[in-house]
A and B are shown apart, each in its own frame.
Chain A
Amino acid sequence: MTLYGTALLAVCHLLGILLGELLGRALGVPANVGGVGIAMLLLISARLYGHHRGWLDVKSEEGVNYWGALYIPVVVAMAMTQNVVAALRGGPMAVTAAVLTVALCACCIAFINRLEPAAGDAPSPAQE
């Protein structure tokens, strides 16, 4: 049943958030530490285990895949609710700090990703 998939997703989500919250408490941080990431790992494990044991059928998977497919619409809705006005009013210092951060992080990402060994897929055009 499709709902089983969504329920599995919901249980993983809640458990992950709960564990992230407890991890935050344990570390003395007033924030959720990786709750969503933990939930993702739980769901990946549940899928592997479910396939292995044979209780996760195609119909149930639909209940998860539907929410994965809603991801982009949800992100568009998120963009529509950003406080863009306040961001643009942040002044030269906020803009300078943000632009420099994004630019330097992009350079860092470019550097690390150029070290990636071209493993079979898409041959890299240049060897740096």
Chain B
Amino acid sequence: MGNVIEKLAKDNGLIIAFAVIGLVVLASGFISRKLTFGRIQGSAIAILIGLALAYVGGQMTGGSKGLADLTFFSGLALMGGNMLRDFAIVATAFEVQPTEARRAGWIGALALCIGTVLPFFIGVVVAYAFGYRDAVSLTTIGAGAVTYIVGPVTGAAIGASSDVMALSIAIGVIKAILVMVSTPALAGFMRLRTPRSAMVFGGLAGTVSGVSAGLAATDRTLVPYGALVATFHTGLGCLLGPSLLYFIVRAIV
């Protein structure tokens, strides 16, 4: 019996993922309606359950892909991987009102620039406070605070040590998870309710994964506007990190 199930799981990974996610979303909707009386969105609960399960999976296997490291759930890596995530994000563009997007274009670009420089600055200051003094480590850790891809890309470009790179990835991953979890709670404070405000959020909050999950958990209709800006975040960070930002840090230290 065990063999049969193992074979079934191995050959039908993506299909199992659809079924598992369906169950989790169904359960989340139930919890949202019955336990929180609709106060917390079903998708926010589903994302929290997902993160908790990712923790369980990571503890059980010692791997880096959360629940997907268990053979039975390996299809989650495909379903939640970059390819399908980006495909689904692009599909949401069908709901964009071009006039709204155009009107907020410049403020989105401004938010994008602040969203790169401000996290970098905070990362550098924290690294300095924790005793780092060389420009390469400071820049790499600062870049990690932009996104978890900008960190290692910058570190590799300027020759950072592997433990500093690991640290910069950790900062970026924690930031993405924090954005996922805290966005619904902070939505009121951030005035997150119009397409324009979602574009500001997309530029400043960074990481596509954090922004896409955070907006999904807050208001599904705002997703395309936030994602439209956020997808430029990593590119801009990788552009500025090893160049302009590194030179500035090196000039100061």
User: Contact at A99–B170, with CB atoms within 8 Å?
Assistant: no
Most B CB within 10 A of own CB, among A10, A61, A70, A72 = A72
B84 A43 Cβ-Cβ under 8 A: no
A19 to B80, CA, bound (A): 23
CA A27 to CA B46, docked complex, whole Å: 39
Judged by a CB distance under 8 angstroms, whether A18 is at the interface is no
Across the two chains, which residue of chain B brings its CB closest to A100?
Answer: B122
> Among the interface residues A84, A85, A121, which one has the most CB atoms of the partner chain B within 10 A?
A84
Cα A89 to Cα B25 in complex, Å, equals 28
Q: Are A83 and B204 in contact (CB under 8 A)?
A: no
Q: Contact at B90–A43, with CB atoms within 8 Å?
A: yes
**Which residue of chain B has its CB nearest to the CB of A112?**
B200
Tell me the residues in window 60-84 of chain A with beta carbons closer than 8 Å to chain B beta carbons: 61, 64-68, 70-84
Docked pose: A40 CA to B98 CA in angstroms = 11
Tell me the residues in window 4-20 of chain A with beta carbons closer than 8 Å to chain B beta carbons: 9-10, 12-13, 16-17, 20
Q: Which residues on A sit within 8 Å (CB–CB) of B79?
A: 73-74, 77
Establish whether residues B182 and A102, one from each chain, have CB atoms under 8 Å apart when the complex forms. yes
Contact B88 A71 (CB under 8 A): yes
For the complex, give the distance between the alpha carbons of A31 and B96 in Å. Answer: 26
Query: In chain B, residues 151-179, which have Cβ atoms closer than 8 Å to a Cβ of chain A?
Result: 153, 156-157, 167, 169-179
A2 interfacial contact with B, CB 8 Å: no
Residues of B within 8 A of A (CB): 17-18, 21-22, 24-25, 43, 46-51, 53-55, 57-59, 64-68, 73, 76-77, 79-81, 84-96, 98, 101, 107, 111, 114-115, 118-119, 122-123, 126-127, 130, 141, 144-145, 149, 153, 156-157, 167, 169-180, 182, 186, 189-194, 196-197, 200-201, 204-206, 208-209, 212-213, 216, 220, 223-224, 227-229, 231-232, 234-236, 238-239
Q: Which residues of A contact B (CB under 8 A)?
A: 9-10, 12-13, 16-17, 20, 23-24, 27, 29-37, 39-41, 43-44, 47-48, 61, 64-68, 70-91, 93-102, 104-106, 108-110, 112-114, 116, 121-122, 124
7 other contacts beyond A106-B190, A110-B191, with CB at 8 A cut-off? A30-B156, A32-B235, A36-B231, A41-B93, A67-B88, A80-B53, A82-B173
